[in-house]
Structure 1
């Protein structure tokens, strides 16, 4: 005799009505449910589990057919997922799988109420829906997970009054056993999906970091900087060559120090921007002037923003227009820190005859647009960086390109 302590919880809760004449002995019921439990131990997919359930209903319970329905994602329809009988002659694939609205037909009502239904004569049942062929008896039991209906086990028989209370109790216990297994498989699948999503995020972060390094230490930038240093050395302009070399060294040290950093201090980013614009001003021989203003940076010294974006934006704007500049470009940058936000506004003033950038450098064409960095960061982090681009006219008739970014304050 099997010991109750070795049986699943669903079997322990099974209570047989002693007043019913039993065609199946209690010990046989224990064997049946134990077989169902053992059958699914090695199954690692929900689809395989459902097919295992219907096959066992046929082979162990001697049913004519068995069909498993699951609720769809909307929670409004039951969809056939597995069946044994005319619906699936090969026991592997469904023919004309039905989709039943919640509350419609016998299975739809079971899904809606969460209560089983036994029909002794389908000819007298107005809710009966014929599927593959007409049968006289039907038994439908809900599959409940944490009190919610996730599916229905349905069986029909050609004999009138075929299904007994024992069938109902056994199938109810079977539904409980399989619901627990479905819960386990779904939890495992969710964990795997979350792990995969975390891996994808990490890969995208890695990609962003590599792109940031590529942008900050691009071959063009390094080569052009070294060329400029060589140029001043050949001109024997010791002061400019030393100044250029000093700023270039500071920038390299800063960029290399930020390689694995997703965020940077605002005050450090202001210093970086000053070095970068000094270097570009020397390189382009005073073709532009710039001014950097800050508001409340000292009051909130630990304020941080995502890395890369500021330098990428300034580089994009400068390289787009510097080729045709006659020395009249003006760049004004403003950092303004609030408790929960950091505002960065850059204004590029361009002479009217240079508003349309007609001579973009090869270097500019190879730059990653600053908008791409913002989009990528927003996709992989909940920062929701906001941006606004405007074209205006200055008081002296020059074109103004204004870009404003709003970062979360990540201090």
Structure 2
């Protein structure tokens, strides 16, 4: 009777040890906020409480089909948060690799009789390996070894299985929180880039040359007593600047509104450059209700006009065509001049030197807003093969 009591007491003590270890680990990892902290707490604190001399925790890299040592307790861990001479094990190789491949734990009483055993830093005769599983997929493996044969027991296996389950839940939560933080940071970065994009777009449209020359032209009409023209262009100028400011914080604009602003802008540019170019806008009224990214069209037009004026001595014709096909607005801007001197300009003092180009503007919109805007630039040539102009085409996905 006394002997049976001793056996029951021993079992109760073992159960208490198991529960105490699990409670300790579950409590300890609550404050951990990174994958690294969870794994090192498991290796250095929880495993040591079980009296194990050696333990390595692996993570599966499915892109390379290998297991990577991430944390350790024992000879592989002479310094804090560092694995000494970490190795990689191919998925399926060795006892650890087999557990990762099958998702089933293994208890090896004598590794000298198991041909799968892989020696790391030194030979050990007992090994126990338990998978850490998330959503039916092996995330990693807890692998413990001991120099004595038959050291690990079924109780150890039960304990490690329970610890692996707790670890898997915590890792899933930590990774989800980390992913959320990364998404929030990416969103904030994207919004910051988008605001910079809008500001740079506005700066391009309100560049000093355009503003000052337009104002000087209006001033000339006033001094020449051409009040009607002065009032007309002053009204255009005021409305355009007001619209720029109004749409600064808007990601999209109705095409009808954009066409209206383009008209004002082109009339002022004609005034600025003394009618050195003519323009035609071809757009069906049924497209007016479409919404497109703010200022994107105007940046393309500004690029063509500025290059034309700087690169020719005659007059030019600007043609803007808007068409619709299969969920996309197709925009084509063509500018052809009498005598082209070259489309390049390398003036370091150019006000546009530090501003986004229209190409960069589109690239950032595609990156931040995932718009998938397509662009194409072609040169126009005469019968002699001489470049006389440029065509820019955009394909902009839209919602009706």
Question: Once superposed, what is the RMSD of the aligned Cα atoms?
Answer: 2.3
C-alpha deviation, 1:177, in angstroms:
1.0
Verify: 1:347 aligned to 2:361, yes or no.
no
- Does structure 1 residue 260 correspond to structure 2 residue 246? no
- Change in Cα spacing, 1:178 to 1:381, as seen in structure 2 (3 Å) is same
Cα 1:328–1:94, aligned 2, differ >3 Å: closer, same or farther?
same
Aligned position for 1:305: 292
Q: Matched residue of 2:117: which SS?
A: coil
Name the residue aligned to 1:376.
364
* 1:364 Cα deviation after fit: 5.8
Return the alpha-carbon distance in structure 2 between the equivalents of residues 120 and 360 of structure 1: 77
Between 1:129-138 and 1:88-97, the stretch displaced more is 88-97
Cα 1:25–1:357 shift into 2, 3 Å: closer
Deviations 1:70-110 (A, max 9, x none): 11252611101111111112343111111111001110000
Matches of 1:220 and 1:82 in 2, distance apart? 62
Aligned residue in 2 for 1:385: 373
Consecutive aligned runs of 4 or more in structure 1 exceeding 6 Å deviation: 358-361, 395-398
Per-residue deviation, 1:218 = 2.9
Q: Please give the secondary structure, in 2, of the residue aligned with 1:94.
A: coil
Please give the alpha-carbon distance, in whole angstroms, between the structure 1 residues aligned to 2:345 and 2:287.
Answer: 41
Q: Are the structure 2 counterparts of residues 166 and 181 from structure 1 closer, same or farther at C-alpha, using a change threshold of 3 Å?
A: same
From 39, 56, 74, the equivalent of 2:63 is 74
Q: Structure 1 pair 339/265, CA: closer, same or farther in 2 (3 Å)?
A: farther
Q: Does 1:337 align with 2:324?
A: yes
Match of 2:342 in 1: 356
In structure 2, distance between residues paired with 1:243 and 1:56: 80
Q: Is the 8 A contact 1:287 1:325 kept in 2?
A: no
- Conserved in 1, the CA contact under 8 Å of 2:18 and 2:159? yes
CA contact (8 A) 1:287 1:326 kept: no
Q: CA deviation at 1:355?
A: 4.6
Whole-angstrom distance in 2 between the partners of 1:398 and 1:105: 68
Corresponding residue number in structure 2 for 1:137: 126
SS at 1:41's partner residue? helix
Give yes or no for contact 1:29–1:170 (8 Å, CA) kept in 2.
yes
Q: Which runs of 5+ in 2 are unaligned?
A: 1-6
Distance 1:366 1:182 in 2: 45
Question: Does structure 2 retain, via aligned residues, the 8 Å contact 1:342–1:407?
Answer: yes
How far 1:300 moved relative to its partner? 3.8
